[in-house]
């Protein structure tokens, strides 16, 4: 109930301060959005496999969530179509490994950083002057992993090691909405699905080589303040 009251309060405040209409987006408009972007991986991986031995039953790898400063741009080609770019400061994730039949339980396996720039073609179905501008987009994601480092918890078991994660090219889908504050400033909420598939390879000084195919396939959520140039 309190929450409902709060929400209607916010709605009333918004209705009171936001003008009813903002002018339509036009060809050449550049909308720059900055805010918090969270990458939430789906945690789906193949079993860990030991080179020369085979897959470890019941094992797998997982990746936790991370939030960074997100920067997204839309460049309008005309009133309906725009080019979208998703960029951010590097995301940093902990990777854990379920050791399955090895019987060590779940261990901290590594930390990684990645950048997932995505380019999309966006469609804005409501080209007229209005307060709400929803859009959908589809395009391509490129993800590069770096600063991979093996966790001491795993190294305690298998000796010093290195981790290598392959770069990924895949589909990017997005959905978002701009809510005009005035003719230049807008609030924005957006969500992306990124198809990020990589192969993680651990190489230990002990000679053990472990690898797994990891479908990171995250949802990325962002809440932004935006300015139209």
User: Which residue number, 141 or 188, has a Cβ lying nearer to Ni ion?
Assistant: 141
Query: Is residue 92 near Ni ion by the rule CB under 5 A?
Result: no
Residue 197: burial class (beta carbons within 10 Å; 0-12, 13-18, 19+)? middle
Which of these segments, 28-36, 59-67, 96-104, 212-220, binds Ni ion (CB under 5 A)?
212-220
User: Which residue number, 48 or 214, has a Cβ lying nearer to Ni ion?
Assistant: 214
Query: Is residue 215 near Ni ion by the rule CB under 5 A?
Result: yes
> Smallest gap, in angstroms, from Cβ of residue 87 to Ni ion?
21
Report the site for Ni ion in 25-44 (rule: CB under 5 A).
none
Q: How far apart are CA 186 and CA 14, in angstroms?
A: 12
Check residue 78 and report its DSSP letter. S
Q: How far apart are CA 36 and CA 17, in angstroms?
A: 24
Choose, by CB under 5 A, the member of 217, 221, 223, 227 that binds Ni ion: 217
> Smallest gap, in angstroms, from Cβ of residue 173 to Ni ion?
12
Q: What are the residues whose beta carbons fall under 8 Å from the beta carbon of 12, sequence distance 6 or more?
A: none
Looking up tokens 């935006």 gives: 226
User: Which residue number, 82 or 170, has a Cβ lying nearer to Ni ion?
Assistant: 170
> Smallest gap, in angstroms, from Cβ of residue 90 to Ni ion?
21
Give the sign of the dihedral formed by CA 191, CA 194, CA 27, CA 71.
Answer: positive
Rg for the chain (alpha carbons), in Å? 22
Region label for 125, one of left (φ > 0), alpha (ψ between -120 and 50) or beta (otherwise): alpha
Check residue 90 and report its DSSP letter. P
> Smallest gap, in angstroms, from Cβ of residue 215 to Ni ion?
4
Nearest CA-CA partner of 106 in 122, 121, 115, 95 = 95
Q: How many residues belong to the site for Ni ion (CB under 5 A)? A: 4
Length of the chain as a residue count: 229
User: Which residue number, 31 or 220, has a Cβ lying nearer to Ni ion?
Assistant: 220
Give the contact letters, 141-180, x = binds to Ni ion (CB under 5 A), - = no. ----------------------------------------
Check residue 125 and report its DSSP letter. S
Query: Is residue 213 near Ni ion by the rule CB under 5 A?
Result: no
> Smallest gap, in angstroms, from Cβ of residue 220 to Ni ion?
14
> Smallest gap, in angstroms, from Cβ of residue 210 to Ni ion?
21
- Footprint of Ni ion (CB under 5 A): 195, 197, 215, 217
């Amino acid at each position: 109930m309190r929450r409902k009251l709060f929400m209607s309060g916010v709605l009333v405040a918004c209705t009171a301060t936001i003008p009813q209409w903002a002018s339509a987006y036009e060809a050449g408009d550049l909308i720059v959005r900055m805010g918090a972007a969270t990458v939430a991986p789906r945690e789906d991986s193949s079993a860990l496999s030991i080179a020369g031995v085979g897959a470890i039953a019941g094992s797998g790898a997982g990746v936790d969530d991370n939030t960074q400063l997100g920067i997204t741009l839309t460049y309008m080609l005309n009133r309906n179509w725009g080019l979208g770019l998703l960029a951010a400061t590097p995301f940093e994730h902990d990777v854990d490994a379920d050791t399955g039949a090895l019987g060590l339980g779940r261990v901290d396996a590594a930390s990684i950083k990645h950048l997932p720039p995505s380019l999309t073609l966006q469609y804005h179905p409501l080209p007229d002057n209005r307060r709400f501008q929803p859009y959908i987009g589809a395009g391509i994601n490129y993800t590069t992993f770096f600063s991979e480092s093996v966790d001491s918890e795993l190294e305690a078991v298998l000796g010093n090691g290195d981790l290598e994660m392959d770069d990924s090219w895949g589909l990017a889908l997005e959905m978002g909405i701009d809510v005009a504050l005035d003719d230049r400033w807008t609030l924005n909420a957006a969500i992306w699905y990124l198809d990020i598939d990589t192969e993680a390879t651990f190489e230990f000084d002990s000679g053990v080589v472990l690898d797994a195919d990891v479908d990171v396939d995250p949802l990325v959520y962002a809440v932004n303040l935006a300015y139209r140039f």
